[in-house]
Structure 1
Amino acid sequence: MPYVNIKITNENVTPEKKAALIKGATQLLVDVLDKNPNTTVVVIDEVHTDNWGIAGESITVRRKKGQ
């Protein structure tokens, strides 16, 4: 049973976009590894931008700076 965990920042991710991620990740495992889509689990974790950092700064701070 494949398990895929997608972590994204919580910025304007619609239910439709999440559905597309789930469908796409599932199909990728079917196409590449011949996995059964009925037993493939995809979990999307949305992380607040205060809790996601790059180069010593949170995404919140970087967005405010325009980076």
Structure 2
Amino acid sequence: MPIVTIQITREGTLPGAKATTIEQKEALHAGVSDLLHTVLGKDPEDTFVIIQEVEPEDWGRGGQSVPAWRKRRSG
């Protein structure tokens, strides 16, 4: 019984960012389940996919929060 956790930033909270849609999440669920079936022969009915959305300020990269890192990278 595979359990896959996908962590992404909650993009809709940043100015100009688009939130992850239900359709995109459904595509992740299906795509990961299909991949595990193809590569490992796992039954999609027994595959659990968990999508966790993390607030951008709670996720760090390069010693900075994601919003600060993105701002620095954009100039």
Q: Which residue of 1 aligns with 2:65?
A: 58
Alignment of 1:39-50 (within 5 A): 39-50=46-57
Aligned residue-pair number: 67
TM-superposed CA distance for 1:64, in Å, is: 2.9
Cα RMSD (Å) of the superposition? Answer: 1.2
User: Which of 8, 28, 31 is matched with 1:24 structurally?
Assistant: 31
Q: Which amino acid aligns with 2:46?
A: T
Q: Which amino acid aligns with 2:68?
A: V
List structure 1 runs of 4+ shifted beyond 6 angstroms.
none
Q: Which amino acid aligns with 2:2?
A: P
CA distance in 1, matches of 2:46, 2:23: 22
Q: Which residue of 2 aligns with 1:38?
A: 45
CA distance in 2, matches of 1:10, 1:25: 20
TM-score, normalised via structure 2 length: 0.83
List alignment gaps of at least 5 residues for structure 2.
Answer: 12-18
CA distance in 2, matches of 1:57, 1:8: 17
List alignment gaps of at least 5 residues for structure 1.
Answer: none
Q: Which residue of 2 aligns with 1:7?
A: 7
